[in-house]
Chains A and B, each alone.
Chain A
Amino acid sequence: MNQPVYRAAVFGATSAIASEFLRALCEDHEAELLLFGRDESRLEATAADLRARGATCTVRTADFLDFEHDWKAELDGPTWDLFLVAHGSLPDQDRSLGEGAAIAREIGVNFTSQAVIAAACAEILDRQGHGRLAVIGSVAGDRGRASNFLYGSAKAGIAAFMAGLQHRFAERQAIHVSLLKPGMTDTPMTADLPKGPLFSPASKVGRLGWKAVRSGKPTAYLPGWWAGVMTVVRSLPSSVLHKTKL
């Protein structure tokens, strides 16, 4: 066990999926983690859990909607093994759609801020010449559906953004860019949704996410069976889809 310390920066570290991802990472590596989030007490609780698991953690509060923020300066210094962009929010779509500012805020959290941070991280990886970048998207980005197209369109945006980064780094074998697409996950973010059999526990989703990133998968559905479900959803003719409540 004489491997070097694994250094990762995590945005939205208090999200349930990110926390589980990091727990799994800590089982494989002695980790040094820089955790970003909005709420200090939540960050401290997350960090305490990871410290008990052997990680060294630094926490920093951050406003992801501050698009002027200089993330490169914030991350300057060490060599990074991994950037994980995990923050997001699940909007109350019906309420948000009536209000331009709410739409802008949801797209800002779920797309723009993720893109801003991913772009900064990509630049750092470019300069380092190696490392991993993973962003948490969603199956909701695979096709616009009446029930959640506000969230879904932001996630479709980040999927295209990540596909672009993958293309850009296609020749760079030491740089790995992954888009993780969880399906419905039992987390505090989905507290108000009735849970059906399609929900997976965050522990499973986070663990599978780490495995996918570790093996350098460009795109990973979490759990993997969502790939099949979404293939069906994507290939439904609109005339059929529009008769469903999906």
Chain B
Amino acid sequence: MITRRFTSWGRLEAARAAAVEPAWLDEIELGPAPRLAYGLGRSYGDSCLLDGGTMIDTRHLDRLVRFDAKTGLLSAEAGITLDAILRFCVPSGWFLPTTPGTREVTLGGAIANDVHGKNHHRVGCFGNHVPRLELMRSDGSRTITSSGEELHAATIGGLGLTGMITRAEVQLVPIRSASLDVELIRFENLDEFAELSTESGDGWEHTVAWIDCLARAEHVGRGIFIRGNWAESGDLQPHAEGGPTVPLDFPGFALNPLSIRLFNQTYHNRFPGKSKRLVQHYSPFFHPLDSVHEWNRIYGKRGFYQYQSVVPAAAGIGPVRAMLEAIAAARQGSFLAVLKSFGGVASPGMLSFPFAGLTLALDFPNRGRRTLDLFSQLDRIVREAGGRLYPAKDARMSPADFAAGYPRLEEFRRHVDPGFTSDFWKRMNP
């Protein structure tokens, strides 16, 4: 066993941990407790890290176990990446039931964080499409859990705390083309966004909006609404491999209010007129940032935070407007501000993040105290609206906000494997 460094996507802190790298399902040794399974480290904060413990790196557990070409039910080892699944299934006309903004996550990670995508309003979370999974517990037992069971509900979105997910089933969906019919519509404020979102819910499977988070005054909440449906015909070419890699950490001054404002203005005005229609391959549509490897390095060596919240539909657009105003006033936002309406499909996990309402996700370069102070303001808005934050993105929420946001937390605790923990979990349980 070697000790090595593990990172998460925000690069705020790294963990040094003993590395266990199982390669075969039947030969897994979990290593000494406390421990945590690790996929590709795409969680942003500390939920995928366990400093000083044992980390079970699942990258060699990447095999398909079974595929039913008639029903699309896929069974695979937990370390397989969504990238590899898509490469496998797209040529025969299948796709993931939902995909997050990157395909560089593992199947196990997608389940443990119960990830969501642009079609949440239609199909719910990733875990809604995982009928069964296998969990290895500290006592060495391997248990199959099925939807409807408590341990299953604890494991989906359970942040790896109920044991190690070793394999899982996912129900793929048929596609006739690898491309989508896409429409981009510019909106000038949040009321327009709300209208577009309501209007698109029925006719469009995939919806999301990009927000110019540095816009101020009457421009607050302007952005581009993106909606798409799978094309009815076309080829079934999977995404290409490769693409450039960010070769170094950008210096701290590279991202500043001016450069970001310029980027956002250019992006906001990237097409003339009010809207634009295009046919787009799934890769740029769902995974635009995967074309540049290690893009997180543009935030420099101090790393960055992502702040993703959801506020209930009943709270309306007000809390989102208040957050955007606070961010613009603090002049701290960045390129990636994403706003989406979650639908009413019940989340399968006790700690699943989504519920019906509006989710806002933004990247923030780490500027230390200033950034954390802004987050305290945002926390207040989220709290008062009855919302919550996404643990997969978090590096700093308070235990009180976590407990208030996740009413099934006590129920979840009963299923935590005593031999598993994470830096996030330790932070939530000081």
Instruction: Tell me the A residues contacting B by CB distance below 8 Å.
Output: 16, 19, 27, 41-42, 45-46, 48-49, 52-53, 186-188, 191-192, 194-195, 203
Contact A45 B60 (CB under 8 A): no
A192 to B23, CA, bound (A): 13
Q: Besides the contacts A42-B24, A45-B65, what 11 more A-B pairs have beta carbons closer than 8 Å?
A: A16-B23, A19-B63, A42-B26, A45-B24, A45-B25, A45-B26, A48-B66, A52-B64, A52-B67, A52-B74, A188-B23
Interface residues of B in 247-306 (CB under 8 A from A): none
| Contact A48-B2, Cβ < 8 Å, known A16-B60, A42-B24 | no
Task: For B67, list chain A residues within 8 Å (CB).
Answer: 52-53
Contact A45 B21 (CB under 8 A): no
- Cβ contact of A188, chosen from B2, B21, B88, cutoff 8 A: B21
Task: For A19, list chain B residues within 8 Å (CB).
Answer: 63
> Closest approach, in angstroms, between the C-beta of B174 and any C-beta of chain A?
17
A203 to B64, CA, bound (A): 14
> Closest approach, in angstroms, between the C-beta of B353 and any C-beta of chain A?
30
Task: For B64, list chain A residues within 8 Å (CB).
Answer: 48-49, 52-53
A188 to B23, CA, bound (A): 6
A200 to B331, CA, bound (A): 41
Q: Which residue of B lies closest to A20 (CB)?
A: B62
Interface flags, B69-100, vs A, CB<8A=1, else 0: 00000100000000010001001000000000
> Closest approach, in angstroms, between the C-beta of A195 and any C-beta of chain B?
8
Interface residues of B in 1-55 (CB under 8 A from A): 2, 4, 21, 23-26
Q: Could you name 23 residue pairs across A and B whose Cβ atoms are closer than 8 Å?
A: A16-B23, A16-B60, A19-B63, A27-B91, A41-B24, A41-B26, A42-B24, A45-B63, A46-B63, A48-B64, A48-B66, A49-B65, A52-B66, A52-B67, A53-B64, A53-B67, A53-B88, A186-B59, A188-B21, A188-B23, A191-B2, A191-B21, A194-B4
Interface centre among A19, A41, A45, A46 (most CB of B within 10 A): A45
Task: For A194, list chain B residues within 8 Å (CB).
Answer: 2, 4
Contact B66 A188 (CB under 8 A): no
A49 to B24, CA, bound (A): 12
A100 to B91, CA, bound (A): 52
Task: For A191, list chain B residues within 8 Å (CB).
Answer: 2, 21, 23
Task: For A48, list chain B residues within 8 Å (CB).
Answer: 63-66
A195 to B19, CA, bound (A): 12
Task: For B21, list chain A residues within 8 Å (CB).
Answer: 188, 191
Task: For A188, list chain B residues within 8 Å (CB).
Answer: 21, 23, 60
A16 to B84, CA, bound (A): 15
Q: Which residue of A lies closest to B20 (CB)?
A: A191
Task: For B66, list chain A residues within 8 Å (CB).
Answer: 48, 52
Task: For A53, list chain B residues within 8 Å (CB).
Answer: 64, 67, 88
A19 to B63, CA, bound (A): 10
A188 to B4, CA, bound (A): 16
> Closest approach, in angstroms, between the C-beta of B87 and any C-beta of chain A?
8
Task: For B23, list chain A residues within 8 Å (CB).
Answer: 16, 188, 191
> Closest approach, in angstroms, between the C-beta of B30 and any C-beta of chain A?
15
Interface centre among B24, B25, B59 (most CB of A within 10 A): B24
Interface flags, B320-336, vs A, CB<8A=1, else 0: 00000000000000000
Task: For B84, list chain A residues within 8 Å (CB).
Answer: 203
A46 to B77, CA, bound (A): 12
Contact A192 B60 (CB under 8 A): no
Task: For A27, list chain B residues within 8 Å (CB).
Answer: 91
Q: Which residue of A lies closest to B25 (CB)?
A: A45
Q: Which residue of B lies closest to A187 (CB)?
A: B60
A161 to B138, CA, bound (A): 49
A80 to B26, CA, bound (A): 32
A155 to B21, CA, bound (A): 26
Q: Which residue of B lies closest to A186 (CB)?
A: B59
> Closest approach, in angstroms, between the C-beta of B205 and any C-beta of chain A?
27
Task: For A203, list chain B residues within 8 Å (CB).
Answer: 84
Task: For B63, list chain A residues within 8 Å (CB).
Answer: 19, 45-46, 48-49
Task: For A49, list chain B residues within 8 Å (CB).
Answer: 63-65
A19 to B24, CA, bound (A): 13
> Closest approach, in angstroms, between the C-beta of B293 and any C-beta of chain A?
12
Task: For B2, list chain A residues within 8 Å (CB).
Answer: 191-192, 194
Q: Which residue of A lies closest to B67 (CB)?
A: A52
> Closest approach, in angstroms, between the C-beta of A159 and any C-beta of chain B?
27
Task: For B74, list chain A residues within 8 Å (CB).
Answer: 52
A19 to B65, CA, bound (A): 14
A49 to B67, CA, bound (A): 9
Q: Which residue of B lies closest to A189 (CB)?
A: B23
Q: Which residue of B lies closest to A192 (CB)?
A: B2
> Closest approach, in angstroms, between the C-beta of B280 and any C-beta of chain A?
24
Contact A52 B65 (CB under 8 A): yes
Interface flags, B339-362, vs A, CB<8A=1, else 0: 000000000000000000000000
A49 to B85, CA, bound (A): 12
A234 to B60, CA, bound (A): 32
> Closest approach, in angstroms, between the C-beta of B222 and any C-beta of chain A?
42
> Closest approach, in angstroms, between the C-beta of A13 and any C-beta of chain B?
13
Q: Which residue of A lies closest to B242 (CB)?
A: A204
> Closest approach, in angstroms, between the C-beta of A225 and any C-beta of chain B?
14
